[in-house]
A and B are shown apart, each in its own frame.
Chain A
């Protein structure tokens, strides 16, 4: 169905925009945010692509992403909040 293709293209554009933000992003938090957003969009794209290819039994993947992406984000934020995972270093610099 054509709508799947349309949606997939919309998602791709959205990913591209988020990636631009990730590359430009002034602060590190921007990059985390866009990485997280790209993760969510990947979940969507996997689902849509499964239907596009006519074999929608691959949603396990989307599930994995939905669960694991969260862990990655949390780990990163933990790292930020407590300085480092331990807190021996000074605050990580924001700018690249």
Chain B
């Protein structure tokens, strides 16, 4: 039983770490703000979920795991809200997404 839990923890934490690294690189490498919000907001939340669930396997059922669950719930609520508010505020402020892919081609076609 312990073995299974350990393995589960390993898997979850590793997955979380990989996601976090992806988040970091996404924040750094993606071209404009909205894609960065995408990277930061979503992968982060999932990584939090994975890592804390992994940790709570280790702690067993106690006050600690309850706290872990609470943190998960809070992050689950706050992080997307913050991302939303951020995207919305920047959109209102008039920051346009970079459209050099699909949208640009469409517009070029319209122009032609």
Verify A3–B13 contact, CB threshold 8 A: yes
Verify A59–B67 contact, CB threshold 8 A: yes
Tell me the bound Cα distance from A34 to B55 in angstroms.
25
- A32 is contacted by which of B16, B21, B59, B86 (Cβ under 8 Å)? B86
Name the distance in Å between B26's Cβ and chain A's nearest Cβ: 9
Count of CB-CB pairs between chains A and B under 8 Å: 142
Query: Looking at chain B, what size class is its interface with the partner chain?
Result: 35 or more
- Listed from nearest, the 3 A-B pairs whose CB atoms lie closest are A17-B24, A10-B17, A14-B24
Instruction: Give residues of chain B (47-64) contacting chain A, Cβ–Cβ below 8 Å.
Output: 47-48, 51-52, 55, 58-59, 63-64
Verify B40–A34 contact, CB threshold 8 A: yes
Verify A63–B67 contact, CB threshold 8 A: yes
Known contacts A67-B74, A74-B85: does B9 contact A37 (CB below 8 Å)? no
Verify A33–B89 contact, CB threshold 8 A: no
